Amino acid sequence: MAPGQDRQEATTVIGSSKLKEVRVEEAVGMVLAHDLTQIVPGEFKGRLFRKGHVVTAEDLPRLKDIGKENLYTIELADTDLHEDDAADRMARALAGERIACGEPAEGKVTLKSTVHGLASVAKEAVQAINRIGDIALATVVDRRVVRPGEALAATRAIPLIVPKTKVEQVERVARDFRAERGAAPVDVRPFRPMKAGLLTTGTEVYSGRIADKFGPAVSAKLAEFGSEVGEQRFAPDDRHTIVKEIHYLRKQGYDMILVSGGMSVDPDDRTPGAISAAGADIVSYGTPMLPGSMLLFGYLGNVPIFGLPGCVMHDPYTSFDVLLSRVLVGDTIGREDIVEMGYGGLHR
């Protein structure tokens, strides 16, 4: 029995509310005070009976099957909330504009994204809420890519009855966060559709010795995020030509410039030098993430420019995914954003 609960003759007191036990055999006609869950491992987990359901004689064997010998009736005090109402109020307090709150079930409400974008989840608010006790908030990590309909957070009441003050504390954390940051603690920043200019370097590709694999890989990657490659150009491993082609792409007004290949340590790897010579401010050449450690990120004026290493052609998830998603929600990338990528950045 949880602390603060006091059991006398089949009555449990939580906060100021009373939960009275009724034997299932005597419960026909009774209204269920909360959802009842069935779990059949590997087959089913979910609500078998809904809160508000009126118990019938046919229900009795099924109630016994899920281990119910007794059911609760609740006398809810003004100062307490039912688990479903607690979960619902917390979810509404936390949710931003691009979030849909589900129906409460089993004391839980799921917050789902309505758009494709980056989860925006305030870690400090989540921690403050989970320090309160009796209630729980579980979320995905900040900046995870979410699709429409995907869950990014769920609120839950732990006991069946929660003191109102606990939920009010959650509402206060959410309100203070909104006032201070002008954003909800849980929201999604949508991807903007952008057009990229792609320059593929490599004499072996330019001369036709081998077929280009970067174009299809980068086009597919941008399409995954709702963006596109506007144009692909080719250059041999010659710095002067690469600089000229970067300037050409800049003039076309693309939202970002991507230069592929020639990013590592060989004498023929001319791309980083050429991106510098083209006049870009280099935020970082080298990214503390694997795969994608040889990636370069900078700005040519205000246009993001990437040097894409070979791994982007064949690894499904690289440092390019992380930085591309940030650019597509409109973030400006600084040195510290690159530094942060190392912790948790080993993916192979």
Ligand X SMILES: Nc1nc2c(c(=O)[nH]1)N[C@H]1C(S)=C(S)[C@@H](COP(=O)(O)OP(=O)(O)OC[C@H]3O[C@@H](n4cnc5c(N)ncnc54)[C@H](O)[C@@H]3O)O[C@H]1N2
Is residue 269 a contact point for ligand X (CB under 6 A)?
yes
| By CB under 6 A, residue 291 contacts ligand MOO | yes
Query: Which of 139, 200, 227, 284 is the binder for ligand X (CB under 6 A)?
Result: 200
Q: What is the DSSP letter of 105?
A: B
Task: Report the distance separating Cα 103 and Cα 114, nearest Å.
Answer: 15
Nearest by Cα to 294 from 337, 341, 324, 261:
261
Nearest CA among 165, 200, 38, 4 for reference residue 90: 165
Residue nearer to ligand MOO on the CB measure, 146 or 311: 311
Which residues are CB-neighbours of 123 under 8 A, at least 6 positions away? 142
Taking the least distance from each CB to ligand MOO, the nearer of 163 and 292 is: 292
Total Cβ atoms within 10 A of residue 293: 18
Is 292 near ligand MOO (CB under 6 A)?
A: yes
Residue 12 makes contact with ligand MOO by CB under 6 A:
no
Among 92, 116, 213, 244, binds ligand X (CB under 6 A): 213
For tokens 């419960």, the residue is 27
Q: Which does 179 bind (CB under 5 to 8 A by kind): ligand MOO, ligand X, none?
A: none
- The pair phi, psi for residue 151, each rounded to 5°, is -75, 140
| Minimum distance from residue 319 beta carbon to ligand MOO (Å) | 7
Binding residues for ligand MOO restricted to 296-315, rule: CB under 6 A: 309, 311
Contact 205, 261 (CB under 8 A): yes
Query: Looking at 159, 261, 272, 298, which residue binds ligand X (CB under 6 A)?
Result: 261
Binding residues for ligand X (CB under 6 A): 200, 202, 204-205, 210, 212-214, 260-266, 269, 293-294, 309-311
Binding residues for ligand MOO (CB under 6 A): 290-295, 309, 311
